[in-house]
Amino acid sequence: MIDVKHLTENPDLYRASQRARGADESLVDQMLSADAARRSSIAAFEELRAEQKLFGKRVAAAQGEEKQALLAEVKELASRVKAAEAEANEAQAELDRLQRLFPNLIEDGVPAGGEDDFAVLKTVGTVRDFAADGFTPRDHLEIGELIGAIDMERGAKVSGSRFYFLKGVGARLEIALMQMGLDLAVQNGFIPVITPTLVRPETMQGTGFDVEHDDEIYKLERDDLYLVGTSEVSLAGYHADEILELGNEPTRYAGWSTCYRREAGAAGKDTRGIIRVHQFNKLEMFIYTTQDQAAEEHRRLLDWEEQMLAKVELPYRVIDTAAGDLGMSAARKFDCEAWVPTQETYRELTSTSNCTTFQARRLNIRERLVNEDGSKGGTRMVATLNGTLATTRWLVAILENHQNPDGSVTVPEALRPYLGGLEVLPVL
């Protein structure tokens, strides 16, 4: 959640952020009013508490009728103190409610607008000319069936629509991709983690998801647990209510997990194949760092994602996501979109978000500061960031971009060692 003090000192900054998101600017004024009410009610409560303490001393020193009169006043004062405390608590609860509704403050330079208002930062690689190669490209599902990699029919039979089986070279290809990503992460100081995929509501909400109204989240009502759509959730909750000793080095985790999304808002979209499914695997980078290092770490996350795309030899573009298309927690998000030949467009394969201190405030994650003399100082909120290194959807772009006329697929050179030297995924 946002820093209320920062908002009260810079309300126009937050109005501009809300305006760029296409969100409710009046929420700023509601926050200002709620904070003023909270401050006023707390001051009134503390004043009455101080008066109550003074009365206590006078009662202790009084005798006879004077004491009886004072006791009556004390009783009336106690009632006023109780009412003032209740009012202060209500004011704090209202501020907390509004604070949880307020999205993160966007960074300078984020494009204003909605889903279609992104800025293309760069385009990398050459889109393959299949006409020049003498054949019409097949889509990833047709290829996956020819090489025995994807079985959507039995996935639907077993689990319903938007489920699938990866088998044979399909299963091997995904594991190879994830392992290559994990090796890259470890080389860059990430700690590998296999995370829980069921989390408590406070963890899901603490990461920035609306557990009451988000139709994309699977909930287990009986156990009051939620299935995660990304290991970001589990990794964000990993250090909840802790003080980290960061120093000058970020703490980096690489979470390997299965992820679940209801895709409730995707009716009729991407119904063919494995582009938009209910269950998939993902390797997610998650970083805890200092507030002043967050922007630089964000650039590093993007660079590592681009290194992975280069390894699998995919043409792609990098976009700066528009404010209205950012999630609740993100101050800025870069997406890497790979070219999908049969759709003749770029589709998202990775994204990386700088969540600044937004998640840390919700989850109460701080860092220990160090004084100039080396002694321990106070604490402040950390910054958190996330980014994807590999996921099941990558198979779509790999199969389509590297297909051959007969339906076989040439394995990108960097992936071959992870497939036992296999150079081609053959048609069965």
Comparing C-alpha atoms, which of 181, 180, 171 is closest to residue 395? Answer: 171
Mean pLDDT of all residues in 194-221: 91
Q: Residues of 75-98 as b/e, b for ≥16 C-beta within 10 angstroms? A: eebeeebeebbebbeebbebbeeb
Q: What pLDDT band is residue 213 in, cutting at 50, 70 and 90?
A: confident
Q: Is the pLDDT of residue 402 over 70?
A: yes
Mean pLDDT of all residues in 80-106: 91
Q: Residue 304 CA to chain centroid, in angstroms?
A: 18
Per-residue model confidence (pLDDT) at position 376: 86
Higher pLDDT, 50 or 326: 326
Structure letter (DSSP) for residue 371:
-
Q: Is the pLDDT of residue 216 over 70?
A: yes
Q: What pLDDT band is residue 349 in, cutting at 50, 70 and 90?
A: very high
Q: What pLDDT band is residue 352 in, cutting at 50, 70 and 90?
A: very high
Residues in the chain: 428
Alpha helices by DSSP H, 116-168: 130-133, 140-146, 152-159
Structural tokens at position 45: 């409560």
Whether the Cβ atoms of residue 337 and residue 351 lie closer than 8 Å to each other:
no
Q: 366: part of which helix (H) or strand (E)?
A: strand 366-370
Task: Assess whether 261 carries a catalytic annotation.
Answer: yes
Mean pLDDT of all residues in 396-407: 98
Task: Assess whether 276 carries a catalytic annotation.
Answer: yes
Cα distance between residue 390 and residue 7, in whole Å: 37
Q: How deeply is 141 buried, as exposed, middle or buried, from its count of CB atoms within 10 A (0-12, 13-18, 19+)?
A: buried
Q: Is the pLDDT of residue 69 over 80?
A: no
Best-predicted range by mean pLDDT (68-77, 117-126, 209-218, 365-374): 117-126
Q: Is the pLDDT of residue 331 over 70?
A: yes
Residues 208, 273, 344: CA angle, nearest 5 degrees? 90
Q: Is the pLDDT of residue 56 over 90?
A: no
Q: Which of 128, 276, 347, 416 is catalytic?
A: 276
Q: Is the pLDDT of residue 70 over 70?
A: no
Task: Assess whether 351 carries a catalytic annotation.
Answer: yes
pTM of the model: 0.92
Q: Which of 21, 38, 252, 261 is catalytic?
A: 261
Q: Is the pLDDT of residue 53 over 80?
A: no
Q: Is the pLDDT of residue 309 over 80?
A: yes
Per-residue model confidence (pLDDT) at position 102: 95
Using a pLDDT cut of 90, give the percent of the chain over it: 82
Using a pLDDT cut of 70, give the percent of the chain over it: 95
Whether the Cβ atoms of residue 95 and residue 34 lie closer than 8 Å to each other:
yes
Report the 10 Å Cβ neighbour count for 23.
15
pLDDT, tens digit (0-9, with 9 covering 90-100), for 369-385: 988 888 888 999 999 99
Contacts of 282 (CB under 8 A, 6+ apart): 230, 231, 256, 257, 258, 259, 388, 390, 391, 392
The pLDDT mean for the chain works out to 93
Q: Which of 351, 361, 362, 366 is catalytic?
A: 351
pLDDT, tens digit (0-9, with 9 covering 90-100), for 153-174: 999 999 999 999 999 999 999 9
Mean pLDDT of all residues in 23-29: 96
Mean pLDDT of all residues in 175-199: 98
Task: Assess whether 348 carries a catalytic annotation.
Answer: yes
Whether the Cβ atoms of residue 231 and residue 255 lie closer than 8 Å to each other:
yes
Task: Assess whether 372 carries a catalytic annotation.
Answer: no
Q: What pLDDT band is residue 35 in, cutting at 50, 70 and 90?
A: very high
Question: Which domains does the chain possess?
Answer: 4-101 (1.10.287.40), 119-425 (3.30.930.10)
Q: Is the pLDDT of residue 425 over 70?
A: yes
Return the bridge partners of 339, or none: 346
Per-residue model confidence (pLDDT) at position 301: 98
Q: Which of 348, 368, 408, 416 is catalytic?
A: 348
